[in-house]
A and B are shown apart, each in its own frame.
Chain A
């Protein structure tokens, strides 16, 4: 069977990571494919996977009494999921494929174990997550500001 290592190496998330670590991580990886409409996971479920998207588009949805509300879509080269690092390891949103999507999943238990064993690897991964967390936080702030809204009570 062909190893997933070249795919991991090419993914922007792992850019610059030492090859020895890639070799270590590849043991946690699986190749997955989703069809448009497939639900990857639902809000509240146990979070045990980390997704590296190779190609496609996923919608991250918040559930409400009026049905799902898409807060973000992500696509090629992006990642999904950090709930597997943070106890109690539950998803806080649902993910659904908007298009046919190919991805690599990394098993959370497996990754956690490796990070605990080697904190340098853990720090390398956390730095990468921190950057993405910051990007997403900023993007969410901008989205919440509703900057394109025509102001109420306008005149001219």
Chain B
């Protein structure tokens, strides 16, 4: 659905807010539908859109909904800046601007026939939720599936109901941990890497996907390499400042890559020579 060559790729399309859900004190989920009779946005898991709040500005937000034919465009957003706080004030019926979808997808099809390990940190669970939907839609195509999710405190856990539902499934290994918790927390405490010993997978036949802060992804990668995974089995989602989403503005560069069009999802092999370096 990228605009034709004559249409300006910088003009947002109007989308109506159909649902607002509060996930945590600073995270919320918006469900959007194209205004008028426009077709729903087709996207792949891992892709993002540029979300425009009228007059306030535009931010890149990954798509966290079901890629399969759902009419709703779902975004889970953390209110940390002017634009995201403006989006937080949205109510049902408000209209936002959407450009996209942009960027690369998670290797969901390539993972067929293999075990899958998803490691999410904080709000990084949002784009991996789209992966979960795709995996579950064709559960029989995959081996063991582990979703390891680490966040700051129990209060920061997003998608609680869904996580609870997935944890109840025998064909999924869903583990949640937090960095710190009060004494009333009955769940896991510790970095997301402490969940790895509890995930069973065949290191020779596994695809791992990470989304979260770079440090968290780096630690997870090292831990998985210790378990025998190779660089080419791992995929990660990178983040940089983005202004245009279409590879023109230059902000999101990482070495030769534009995160917005060469990423955000990269095979680790492709970026490992840049990954973890300072100030690149």
Contacts and interface: CB of A to CB of B under 8 A. Distances in A.
A contacts B directly (C-beta below 8 A)? yes
Interface string B189-219: 1111110011000000000000011011001
Interface of A: 12, 57, 59, 67-78, 98-99, 135-136, 138-143, 145-150, 154-156
B26 interface: yes
Interface of B: 26, 57, 59, 78, 80-84, 121-123, 150-152, 156, 177, 179-181, 183, 185-194, 197-198, 212-213, 215-216, 219, 222-223, 226
Given A70-B181, A70-B185, A148-B152, A139 B191 contact: yes
Given A77-B198, A148-B216, A150-B78, 18 more contacts: A72-B194, A73-B189, A74-B190, A135-B193, A135-B223, A135-B226, A139-B191, A139-B219, A142-B191, A142-B219, A146-B152, A148-B123, A148-B151, A148-B179, A148-B212, A154-B80, A156-B80, A156-B84
State the majority secondary structure of interface residues on B: mixed
Nearest to B214: A147
* Most interface-central of A77, A135, A145, A147 (chain B CB within 10 A): A147
* Most interface-central of B150, B156, B197 (chain A CB within 10 A): B197
A148 B156 contact: yes
Contacts of B151: 148
State the majority secondary structure of interface residues on A: mixed
Given A73-B190, A139-B191, A143-B191, A150 B26 contact: yes
A98 B186 contact: yes
9 contacts: A69-B180, A73-B194, A77-B198, A78-B197, A138-B222, A140-B191, A147-B122, A148-B151, A150-B80
A143 B197 contact: no
A147 B190 contact: no
Given A150-B26, A154-B80, A156-B80, A70 B189 contact: yes
A141 B193 CA distance: 11
B224 to A, nearest CB: 12
Contact of A72 (B26, B189, B219): B189
A21 B82 CA distance: 63
B183 A68 contact: yes
Nearest to A138: B219
Nearest to B124: A148
B216 A142 contact: yes
